Chain A
Amino acid sequence: MLRLIVSDLLANARIWLGTLLIATATAAVGAVAASDIQTAIEAGGTVALALYAISGVMIAFTTITALIVAGSVAGLTVSLQLRAYALWQLVGVRPAYVRIVVTTQLALVALIGGTLGCLAALPALGPLYRYALAESPDLGELHPAFGAGAAVPVVLFVIAVVTLAGTRSAGRAAHTPPIRSLHEIDRPDQRMNFARAMAGLATLVIIAGILVSLPATALEQLSVPLMLIAPLVAGVLAAFAPLYLARLLRDWTALVPERASSSWYLARSTTAFGVARSTATINPITVAVALAGGLYSANGTASGGGSVRTGSVVLLLGGPLLLALLGATATIFMSSRRRDREFALVVAAGATRTVVLAAAAWEAVIYTVTATILGAAAVCVTAVAGGWAAGTWTPSLGLGAVATIAGLGLVLTLAATVLPTAAALRHEVPQTLAAE
């Protein structure tokens, strides 16, 4: 079994490196929150109270982002390898064994990534605290603590999120008839299931709870519950994505006539068909837009347009935003071998390099615009709720933050789609097609 696990990890290094990167980033971001709590426990007094307030929001942001990003990546990791799992079964590996191997691989990669993430965070914690808390007189000289007691829960959290998210896909890999997996190399479906529905409904209940509590919250304290709404709405949108995302993609991309551009036509059909892959990229960008837009919208609405300190933004949002944008980029990188093959098919059908590169670029645009639509919708919920609770008819929409994150997301996804495609176009078509 060990041999199978290791050889498969090596053979699909591109996919597993993406998973490892996200596990590492999740742990690094989690380490900041864990360090905040450990530092608070060791410091005690008013410093602890201040740090607990920060860590609460930080943990909420980190948890929501990690669940969406690591969950998407783990699911994609398995779905990209369904063909290999089918081949295992055809040579006699039992379905239950497939599930055990896949789950063990995920746990192993999460363990390594979790440990690396905690180690990587260690040297960054001091400078991060000094920068983020420089303007706070009580916290400016604080020395962050991060020991094994804080690191172990972070690693366990990463293992739990990655493994649980991948287990469902692993079960699907094990129970799908192998011939079907081989026949449909690119299975487009991403179905709604009980766990997704429950997660979505539970998040809706939390949002409802926050909304109910808003009228009784003092105006100066309104921004904290408000800033949680947008990422939570992003979580609901991610959970119910199988119900609407393909339709949304098809509908808004239909605004550009199919005859206008071959490259747009190809990008549109690819993104709308490969919903599992598209979802894995769109969800992280959605949560990034919701996090940043939600924070600025909440603060702007509750404080009547007051500004947010950069240090606070970096401390509260820096990690989750980094994780979300890395997640979107990693999902594209992970599935680039599949993309290479699809583009080789298009070249064989007569497409020029320009058309192929433009299709790759349009794909990034479709991902980012779709995510921005969803993220902006989540921010609007925050703004409307904030306006209602604060009694103002001019709620802040955090448009600057939304636009900034959307722009950043576009740059990263463009790099992730166009650069590997340009590299793949250097290979001859027969080689690329023979690689599957």
Chain B
Amino acid sequence: MPVLAEVVDLTKTFTLGRGGSVVPVLRGITAQVAPGEFLAVVGPSGSGKSTLLYCMSGLEPATAGVVRILGRTVGALSRSALAALRRDHVGFVFQSYNLIPSLSARENVALPARLARRRISAAEVDRALADVGLAEQAAHRPGTLSGGQQQRVAVARVLALRPDIVFADEPTGALDTESGAQVLDLLAGVPGDGRSLVMVTHDLQAAARADRVLVLRDGAVHSELRNPSADDVFKAITC
């Protein structure tokens, strides 16, 4: 079965300070993301969830092991080739929204296409914003939008470009229940047509919507669940 992204025996360590001790964060993880799949990554704080996401998406280099996106080995790519791969095939949604403050919602949505020198019409951008319920706020800058609205703009940015794989790091972590549910509904619509979603979350209900859940503990895969309920996820994390 083809995979969109995979990590093989992935290890990541961080060094504390200059010449300080080496802290292992990921310890030999192997995982794949299939086309059309919604993969959730859960685990206690400090278990390495976000680091796995960043390594898998090519935002953070691995210390050891192999990371492949669309069959291309990330470690073998030059910085600009990796940037082009991310630009053309990968979308990101972070916990803290991460919109460009100087650009309006509309301009933020259009930015990846502009950077990729890909034509995206104003109608397509407006439709992406309308899909997330923010057609009226298209001209607003991020600073004038609520947290939930900013996150929906970030989702619209991803939806507009239709990347092959979307990585979301705690996308509902800073939102209230209603806004979180809206964002989750939007992201849950990504998988399909061969496109995949990888989402790190603390939210058991959100994880329960995934096709597959990886439970991380101490930087290793503790268990893997398929189509679990929220209770299943809770038990896997706590036992």
Contact = CB atoms under 8 A, between A and B. Distances in A.
B173 interface: no
Contact of B92 (A185, A270, A348): A348
A348 B87 contact: no
Most buried by A among B88, B102, B116: B102
A355 interface: yes
Contacts of A184: 101, 143-144
B102 A270 contact: yes
Nearest to A355: B115
Most buried by A among B59, B61, B112: B59
A157 to B, nearest CB: 36
A348 B112 CA distance: 9
A350 interface: yes
A8 interface: no
A345 B59 contact: no
B157 A349 contact: yes
B79 interface: yes
Given A183-B143, A187-B143, A354-B80, A348 B114 contact: no
B60 A430 contact: yes
A348 B143 CA distance: 19
B84 A352 contact: yes
B227 interface: no
A428 B59 contact: yes
Interface in B77-94: 79-80, 83-84, 86-88, 92, 94
A187 B112 CA distance: 24
A345 B84 contact: no
Given A183-B143, A430-B54, A350 B98 contact: no
Interface string A394-436: 0000000000000000000000000000000000111101001
A345 B99 contact: yes
Nearest to A342: B100
A273 B115 contact: no
Contacts of A176: none
A318 interface: no
Nearest to B108: A349
Interface string B33-68: 000000000000000001000100001110000000
Q: Chain A at the B interface: mostly helix, strand, loop or mixed? A: helix
A186 B100 CA distance: 10
B50 A430 contact: yes
A183 B87 CA distance: 28
B212 to A, nearest CB: 24
Interface of B: 50, 54, 59-61, 79-80, 83-84, 86-88, 92, 94, 96, 98-103, 107, 111-112, 114-117, 141, 143-144, 157
Given A273-B103, A350-B83, A352-B83, 5 more contacts: A184-B143, A185-B143, A269-B102, A350-B86, A350-B115
Given A265-B114, A433-B94, A349 B100 contact: yes
Given A352-B84, A354-B80, A430-B54, A269 B114 contact: no
A100 to B, nearest CB: 28
B101 A342 contact: yes
A262 interface: yes
6 contacts: A186-B101, A266-B100, A269-B100, A346-B111, A350-B116, A430-B59
A348 B83 contact: no
A345 to B, nearest CB: 5
Contacts of A351: 83, 87, 115
Nearest to A426: B79
Given A185-B101, A350-B115, A428 B61 contact: yes
B100 A345 contact: yes
Contacts of A186: 101-102, 143
Contacts of B87: 350-352
B167 to A, nearest CB: 10
Contacts of A57: none
B59 A349 contact: no
A4 B137 CA distance: 40
Contacts of A346: 100, 111, 115
A353 B83 contact: yes
A349 B99 CA distance: 9
A347 interface: yes
A274 interface: yes
A350 B79 CA distance: 12
Nearest to A353: B79
A262 B114 contact: yes
A428 B114 contact: no
* Across the A-B interface, the 6 shortest Cβ-Cβ residue pairs: A350-B87, A273-B102, A184-B143, A352-B83, A269-B102, A350-B115
Nearest to B99: A345
Interface string A178-194: 00000111111000000
Interface string A308-352: 000000000000000000000000000000000010011111111
A146 B107 CA distance: 57
Contacts of B114: 262, 265
Contacts of B143: 183-188
A262 B115 contact: yes
A153 B86 CA distance: 58
Contacts of B88: 350
A273 B100 CA distance: 11
A32 B101 CA distance: 43
Interface in A178-232: 183-188
A391 B55 CA distance: 73
A115 B190 CA distance: 62
Nearest to A183: B143
A430 B52 CA distance: 12
A187 B142 CA distance: 11
A287 to B, nearest CB: 26
A270 B107 CA distance: 13
A70 to B, nearest CB: 27
A349 B112 contact: yes
Most buried by B among A186, A188, A350, A428: A350
A348 B101 contact: no
Contacts of A429: 54, 59-60
